[in-house]
Amino acid sequence: MLPTRKIDEQISLLFSVPFVFSEHLTKREDNQLRDKYDHNAFSYTGQPTAEEIRKALDYQKARGDNFLKLDGYAPLDDSFGMEPDVTWTMVLPKDASIDGWKINPDVVVQAPDWEELEQHELKYYGPLYGESFTVRNNRRLREKLTYHGAYWGGKLVGSCYTYSADGYTCMDSLVVDSGHRHRCVATTLIQAIVKDARSQGRVVFLHADADDTPKEMYARMGFQMVDRQYEYLCTDFSTLKLD
């Protein structure tokens, strides 16, 4: 198993309990945050059959969940009408220089104030996922993960979280205030995380949406794509094609 996959699995185990569901499917469940897709997904190996998808659908309905999510490390031959997405795993090699990164000397990286962090995430995630979910998700994540805040003029303008184990640090959920973007807030925050990780002998990696531009910024910084994760999501069961 790739080291980054091993760390991702450890993060998943912080929040969900896995069990073998069928020949090609393993279910992950987090009953404390029922409406979080990533914590209540089916991991697949090989190509699930239509009967396995029907069984998974019935299981979700019985739980009262109105979504079906599958993820794996190879594309499905048949997505059964589910919406596909691809995420890149990008690693910063231990010998990659970070001295040339553009940083903002006015940005201070420190542990964020929880109330400020909640308001920061509500501003960006609230309109997408709802205020209740955004707050519950943030509080659930910070129980097990380490959050980092970028402050400018005493204001929280950027944040992300990390998880470290087995010589690696995974960085995720990076968001910068829209009024402070293109001012090197993100690179300043990432550089501080890399410096801290390297001081403890760890290698930093992150996840980037294959369809979004941040992956290009990460590539310019020296991050290299080492793995892909494929995700299939259905929030309207009538769109599934199982016949």
The whole-angstrom separation of Cα 158 and Cα 112 is 9
What does the pLDDT read at residue 241? 95
Residue 211 has pLDDT above 90, yes or no: no
On whether both 116 and 212 belong to a single domain, the answer is yes
On whether both 40 and 144 belong to a single domain, the answer is no
Mean pLDDT of 3-13: 97
On whether both 106 and 213 belong to a single domain, the answer is yes
On whether both 97 and 74 belong to a single domain, the answer is no
On whether both 126 and 209 belong to a single domain, the answer is yes
What does the pLDDT read at residue 243? 83
pLDDT tens for residues 135-148?
999 999 999 999 99
Domain count, the chain: 2
For residue 190, the domain's CATH number is 3.40.630.30
Reference 155, options 187, 119, 122; nearest CA is 119
On whether both 156 and 67 belong to a single domain, the answer is no
The whole-angstrom separation of Cα 125 and Cα 136 is 12
On whether both 102 and 211 belong to a single domain, the answer is yes
pLDDT tens for residues 70-129?
999 999 999 999 999 999 999 999 999 999 999 999 999 999 999 999 999 999 999 999
On whether both 160 and 121 belong to a single domain, the answer is yes
On whether both 35 and 106 belong to a single domain, the answer is no
pLDDT tens for residues 166-206?
999 999 999 999 899 989 999 999 999 999 999 999 999 99
On whether both 66 and 118 belong to a single domain, the answer is no
pLDDT top residue among 122 and 1 = 122
First CA to last CA distance, the chain: 35
Mean pLDDT of the chain: 96
On whether both 105 and 34 belong to a single domain, the answer is no
What does the pLDDT read at residue 110? 98
What does the pLDDT read at residue 24? 98
Instruction: Classify residue 243 by its DSSP letter.
Output: -
What does the pLDDT read at residue 12? 96
Reference 230, options 83, 56, 92; nearest CA is 83
Q: CA Rg, the chain, in Å?
A: 19
Percent of the chain with pLDDT over 70: 100
On whether both 55 and 123 belong to a single domain, the answer is no
What does the pLDDT read at residue 213? 80
Residues of the domain holding 9: 3-87+230-239
